[in-house]
Amino acid sequence: MLSIRPMAEADAEAVLAIYQQGIDTGDATFDTTAPTWAAFDAGRLPEHRLVACDQAGQALGWVAVSRVSARPAYAGVVEHSVYVRPEAQGRGVGLLLMHALIASTEAAGIWTIQSGIFPENTASLALHRAVGFREVGVRERPGCLHGRWRDVVAIERRSTVAGTTPG
């Protein structure tokens, strides 16, 4: 049985370890090491940071968002990251986290969730398609990782509830 709960400072070690496991795949991010908890905490909105846990309370994955801009016009746009422990992948953890994130952001009036995914990360692309994200383009070679230029697939999900009326 999986459960979702808000991320807390007590989750720091597990969250950063899961992040590092994703980084170590070479197909999750341009980052090469997980940040400190202080940097992680400062860069993500507290109300949209969630952890998926097993029955024993062990963190199996997490999802979090960051603002894309401080400009008022972009108040309803966030960028997200989702990471799942390798041994928990394929068990619905990512799907559960994404559904919870969508519910959380829509309840808060956020109208767009976006991200960038390496094209080689086919599991992540499939997960995002399954919860209503669409590919909006490919950023060609925006960064170099381990001596190799990488493309990034730009994805977004527009809310069907939040931000539907201009105002």
Q: What CATH number labels 3-113?
A: 3.40.630.30
The model's pLDDT over 106-132, given as tens digits with 9 standing for 90+, comes to 999 999 999 999 999 999 999 999 999
Give one word for 91, left, alpha or beta, with left for phi > 0 and alpha for psi -120 to 50. alpha
Q: Where are the domains of the chain?
A: 3-113
The model's pLDDT over 77-99, given as tens digits with 9 standing for 90+, comes to 999 999 999 999 999 999 999 99
Of all residues in the chain, the percent with pLDDT exceeding 70 is 97
Q: Residue 22 has which token pair?
A: 């994703």
Q: What pTM, to 2 d.p., does this model score?
A: 0.95
Nearest to 21 by CA among 9, 33, 4: 33
Quickly count: other Cβ atoms within 10 Å of residue 128's Cβ: 24
Mean pLDDT of the chain: 96
Please tell me the total number of residues recorded for the chain in this structure: 167
State which amino acid sits at residue 36: T
Q: Residue 155 has which token pair?
A: 């994805």
